[in-house]
Chains A and B, each alone.
Chain A
Amino acid sequence: MTIQSQKPQIISYRNQKILKKFFVYFVLIVVALLVVIPLIWMLSTSFKLKSQLFTKEIYWIPKVVTLENYTKILDNPSTPIGLWFRNSLFVAVITTAAKLVIDSLAGYAYARMKFPGRNKIFNLLLVTLFLPGVMFLVPNFVTVSKLGMLNNFNGVIFPALASVFGVFFMRQFFNSIPKELEEAAEMDGANRLQIFIKIALPLAKPALATLAVIEFLASWNDFLWALLVLKDRTVQTLQPGLRTLQGAYTSEYGLMMAGAVIVAVPVLLLYIFLQRFIVQSVATTGLKG
């Protein structure tokens, strides 16, 4: 009696599990499609002629695949996207490299060295982490224009180096690793700079890599500040450049999507190769922040 009544229950429990699994996959796939469709639409549009954009029926795969949109914006003096690409790369690489150097130096000092005023200065830095960025918009713009750095890459690189996040991040890391190696090196007569370069920095490689990815993305994707400071077409970076592109043509969506593809592809490639690492970095730094 009991065995008989149990049997159908087991089967229905199994069915329920399969049904649940099916439901979960269904939701996951629908959301994944919603995420991917706009990107595919961008790609598809970028290969279409203008005459194919406003047809009665929509073609996801262009009837005629054309590279015209790309060639048109690449060597166009009013929207020199190739030049903007080089500008973006230059700014992002220099900003990231400079940050790694100055933030790891400062982070190491706040973590490992004792000096008068250390805690006071560091607490002051920490407090500014809570200040909203909007406060600095106008005054920094005035400073940059007074220093003659409008339409100059220094005008975007220098203010970015003031950020406290990297210093805080590196200090946290140096605090988390054991001191013994450094103390042994000090006994052997190494000075602070030697200890920092030869012992602390090699240990900090994972933290430096995380910081590099975060800062490169931030610099590459910077929109507002670059828009304000780099007005001249010859010094623009890609992000404000996209706005220039949008304003330069009417209804030329193929051209604009080609521009968007050129801006998006480097970070998407970076993401595909470093996907797990990027997600992990964001999750851990997000939780700490």
Chain B
Amino acid sequence: MTIVSLRKRKIQITPYLFILPHLIFFVVFIGYPFFSGLYISFFQYDYLRPEATLFVGLQNYIDLFKTGSVKFIEFWNSIKVTLTFVIYSVPFLVIIPLGLAILLNTKIAGTKFFRAVYFAPWVLSCAVISLIWWWIFQSQGGLLNYYLKLIGFDTPRWLSTMPYAMITIVVATIWWTMGYNMVIFLAALQDIPNDLYEAAEIDGANSWQRFVNITIPMLQPVLIFIIIITIIASFNLLGQPLMMTRGAPAQPTGGGATEPVMLRIFNEGFVRPFQGSAAAMSVIVAIIMMVFSFTNFRIFRQRD
């Protein structure tokens, strides 16, 4: 009897020992902060002066919704900047990779080489790519303005005037991440059965008709998937504006014209000492992102 129960206990404890190492880190750094983030957002909190912590209730949230307050203007400006970035960058980050994937899906020599080249920037860090593009876009000695001048174009101050500052961030981001989307498109294209195209060809469909009637419908799930993950990734934009434009130029009403919401949270909680307020901003951004993902998820489900 005792032996049986002992063995039973032993068997039961092993699986927990297997999952425990991960579960400890999970609880401390994903489970706990889920709640403590909300908790901190009800305080005036500065990690350097924990003794000055002050319970302020919903004040951090009220500040973000009180029209005309500095925090209101700065926060919603940063949301607007993020959405502008999404609108500027996502179409390119879908169309260019899709186009490249279609070209690379043809039966010509060297496609593997080109695929490798296009994907390469993705393995670099955002600090590296930001630094490179920051240097290319410099007014003094920058590569781009040198060639623009050579062919007789205007040479704007790319990094400090609008809309150019936003364009620099969009260009750097496209260059950095287009290979990732392209590779996913390419994998999906290769999964489309060849018989479909052959049958259509026999029926006399030209290549444009085949693209519209076979490729696009077959690609639709991946297309939606790419659009969603690209938008979500765009919400996390931080390194490029931090290193290239520093959020500049300043808006006349407040906030920076290239200061997206992650940079706003970074500045609020880690440059200025307002971690409670930064936590409140994070909660609102997280809710926006989750509503977005959830809606998409629902739409996805309904189509299936």
A residues sitting closer than 8 Å to B (CB atoms) are 21, 24-25, 27-28, 31-32, 34-36, 38-39, 41-42, 45, 53-54, 58, 101-103, 105-106, 108-110, 113-116, 118, 121, 125, 128, 130-143, 145, 158-159, 161-162, 164, 167, 191-193, 196, 217, 220-224, 228, 238-240, 242-243, 246, 251, 253, 256-257, 259-260, 263-264, 267-268, 270-271, 275-276, 278-279, 282-284, 286-287, 289
Contacts and interface: CB of A to CB of B under 8 A. Distances in A.
A123 B199 CA distance: 44
24 contacts: A35-B118, A38-B132, A38-B175, A102-B21, A105-B19, A108-B18, A118-B15, A128-B34, A131-B30, A131-B286, A134-B265, A135-B283, A139-B33, A139-B36, A143-B29, A239-B127, A243-B243, A253-B141, A256-B131, A260-B132, A275-B119, A282-B119, A287-B184, A289-B229
A41 B132 contact: yes
A19 B119 CA distance: 27
Contacts of A276: 112, 116
Contacts of B265: 134, 137-138
Nearest to B30: A162
A31, A114, A284, A289 — most chain B CB neighbours (10 Å): A31
B126 interface: yes
Interface footprint category on B: 35 or more
Contact of A283 (B33, B117, B124, B183): B183
Contacts of B242: 243
A246 B243 contact: yes
A263 B127 contact: yes
Contacts of B119: 275, 278-279, 282
A113 B14 contact: yes
A24 to B, nearest CB: 5
A138 B290 contact: no
Nearest to A57: B146
Given A38-B132, A243-B127, A275-B116, A131 B22 contact: no
B108 A242 contact: no
A24 B106 contact: yes
Interface in B168-210: 175, 180, 183-184, 186-188
Given A220-B125, A271-B123, A135 B118 contact: no
A263 B125 contact: yes
Contacts, number: 261
Given A106-B22, A128-B26, A257-B135, 10 more contacts: A35-B175, A38-B136, A102-B22, A113-B18, A238-B127, A242-B243, A260-B131, A264-B124, A270-B123, A286-B184
A115 B184 contact: no
Contacts of A31: 100, 114, 118
Interface in B269-293: 269-270, 275, 278-279, 282-283, 285-286, 289-290, 293
B165 interface: no
A116 B120 CA distance: 45
Interface of chain B, main secondary structure: helix
B153 interface: no
Contacts of A240: 127
B42 to A, nearest CB: 12
B34 A131 contact: yes
B115 interface: yes
Residue of B125, B134, B235 with most chain A CB atoms under a 10 A cut-off: B125
A103 B132 CA distance: 35
A109 B15 contact: yes
A159 B32 CA distance: 12
B125 A287 contact: no
A130 B186 CA distance: 25
A252 to B, nearest CB: 11
A116 B285 CA distance: 36
A279 B18 contact: no
